[in-house]
Amino acid sequence: MQDEIVSKTRRKREMHELQALGASLVALSDAHLQRMTLPEALAQAVREARRISSHEAKRRQVQYIGRLMRELDPEPIRAQLDAVQGGSAAERARHQRLEHWRARLLEDDDALTAFAREHPGADLQQLRALLRNARQEQAAGRPPRASRELFRALREASGE
């Protein structure tokens, strides 16, 4: 059986996609970049690109990163990047579930009992205090600091 012939246009498109993926890696923060599992040569090239300030030199370095990525399977890197950037479907669904719980808790006092049933390890005293503070903030029209704290506490309590 004959190998599939890949057109020049398709090869160029794939090359540009890999360069764009490399540029996304360069744009990550230090903390996010450290969480990613990258081959050492690629990680070094990304660190070097972040150090470069000249536009043309950075463009060439991103091209080099794209060339390095042609030798790798880019899918694991894409998956890690999606997870770090919150682009994965599972991450969005998890965030929406927590948003739903927060809205439900702010509207209904009985929702705390339902949340406690689903998440037995939750610190109900802390959640009650955060709920009270968030409701007071809403009533006073203040910025939603306690509401954000409530979201963080829900995320920790749900183990997600």
The pLDDT of residue 160 is: 60
1 pLDDT above the threshold of 80: no
Query: Tens digit of pLDDT for each residue in 10-56?
Result: 989 999 999 999 999 999 888 788 888 899 999 999 999 999 999 99
Mean pLDDT rounded to a whole number for the chain: 88
Amino acid at 99: E
Q: How many CA atoms lie within 13 A of 143 on its CB side?
A: 2
Task: Go through the domains of the chain in sequence order and give each one's CATH number.
Answer: 8-85 (1.10.60.30), 89-158 (1.10.60.30)
Find all residues with CB under 8 Å of 134, minimum gap 6, and list them.
106, 144, 146, 147, 149, 150
Q: Cα-Cα-Cα-Cα dihedral of 47, 50, 55, 56, to 10°?
A: 0
pTM of the entire predicted model? 0.53
Secondary structure element (H or E) that encloses residue 135, with its range: helix 124-140
Question: Are the CB atoms for 127 and 135 separated by under 8 Å?
Answer: no
pLDDT above 70 as % of the chain: 95
Query: Tens digit of pLDDT for each residue in 72-97?
Result: 888 999 888 887 776 666 777 888 89
Both structure tokens of 139: 């009533």
The pLDDT of residue 104 is: 92
